[in-house]
Amino acid sequence: MVILESVATFVTDPAKMLIVVVSFLFAISTLLAWKKYSKPALLYAHLIFVLSPIFYFALSINCSLSVIRGLLSWCTALFAKFIIYILPPLMAFVFVSGIFIIPKLYKRRGKQLHFGWFSELCSKAGVSARLYLLDKAKPEAFALGESIFVSVGMFEILSREELEAVLLHELHHVKSNSSWNKFSAVFVRLFSPIAWFSSDSVEEDELAADEFACRFQKSNIHLKSAKRKVELF
Amino acid sequence: MKEKVADFDSLLSPLEGDVLKILWPDKKMLVREIHTKLKSKVALSSVAVILDRLYDKQIVAREVETARGGARYIYYPTQDKNAFEKSVIDKTVNQLIKAFGPNAVSYFNERFRKR
ipTM over 0.90: no
Q: How many CB atoms lie within 10 A of CB A221?
A: 13
Secondary structure letter of residue A12 according to DSSP: T
Cis peptide before B102 (omega within 30 of 0): no
Q: How far is B29 from chain A (nearest CA, A)?
A: 13
Average pLDDT for residues B51-76, to the nearest whole number?
93
Whole-number pLDDT of residue B70: 93
What gap in Å lies between CA A76 and CA A61, rounded to an integer?
8
Q: What are the tens digits of pLDDT across the range B29-54? A: 999 999 999 977 888 889 999 999 99
3-class secondary structure, A158? coil
Q: Is B56 exposed, middle or buried (0-12, 13-18, 19+ CB in 10 A)?
A: exposed
Q: Is A97 helix (H, G, I), strand (E, B) or coil?
A: helix
Residue B64 contacts A, CB cutoff 8 Å: yes
The CA distance from A158 to A221, in Å, is 13
Q: What's the CA angle centered on A75, arms A73 and A77, to 5 degrees?
A: 70
For chain A (233 residues), the mean pLDDT of every run of 10, in chain order, is 75 89 93 85 92 88 69 82 90 91 90 94 94 94 93 94 96 89 88 78 82 95 94 82
The pLDDT value recorded for residue B3 is: 40
Mean pLDDT across chain B = 84
pLDDT for A66 equals: 65
pLDDT at A200: 62
pLDDT at res. B1? 40
Q: Is the pLDDT of residue B14 over 90?
A: no
List, in sequence order, every residue forming a beta bridge with A151; answer none if it has no partner. A134
Query: Chain B window 11-50: which residues touch A at a Cβ cutoff of 8 Å?
Result: 31-32, 43-46, 48-49
Identify which of A111, A135, A156 has the shortest CB distance to residue B31. A156
Q: Do A133 and B72 touch (CB under 8 A)?
A: no
| Strand B70-77, strand B29-30: pairing | antiparallel
Tell me whether residues A111 and B66 touch, CB distance under 8 A.
yes
Asked if residues A125 and A170 have their Cβ atoms less than 8 Å apart, the reply is no
The per-residue pLDDT for A1 is: 59
